[in-house]
């Protein structure tokens, strides 16, 4: 129900001609995460994997970037190996903390024991 309150508040701010302060914080987080993902791919990876780069660059919201972590993992694994890719994705996942709805939060895997 919290998302409904945020959405309603954002809509009211928009109708009144004001920016929603929480929206600007989310936008800043979105851009920080987008840049971090593109930095992980690097210039060489952007040339080798233009479709992943494009999807990251044009993802419209945090949830879109969240779901692109799998594509990014595959890209990084192809470039550096799976163990390096896993470490980098885990560090990236921390950037999403507190920005996503509760149902999208990362959960510990029983396979990681």
Predicted pLDDT at 15: 56
Is there a contact between 38 and 64 (Cβ–Cβ < 8 Å)?
A: no
Residues of the chain with pLDDT under 50: 1-5, 8-9, 12-13, 21, 113
The predicted structure's pLDDT at residue 103: 73
Domain ranges of the chain: 28-98
Distance, in Å, from the CA atom of 94 to the CA atom of 4, rounded to the nearest integer, reads: 25
Q: Given this model, what pLDDT does residue 16 score?
A: 55
Assign 3-state DSSP to the chain and report helix, strand, coil percentages, each to 5: 80, 0, 20
């Amino acid at each position: 129900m919290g998302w409904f309150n945020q959405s309603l508040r954002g809509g009211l701010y928009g109708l009144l001609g004001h920016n929603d302060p929480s929206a600007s914080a989310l936008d800043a987080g979105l851009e920080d995460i987008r840049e971090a993902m593109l930095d992980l791919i690097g210039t060489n990876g952007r040339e080798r994997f233009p479709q992943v780069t494009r999807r990251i660059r044009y993802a419209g919201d945090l949830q879109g970037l969240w779901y692109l972590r799998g594509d990014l993992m595959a890209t990084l694994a192809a470039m550096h190996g799976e163990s390096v890719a896993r470490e980098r994705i885990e560090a990236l996942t921390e950037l999403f903390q507190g920005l996503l709805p509760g149902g999208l939060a990362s959960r510990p895997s029983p396979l990681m024991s």
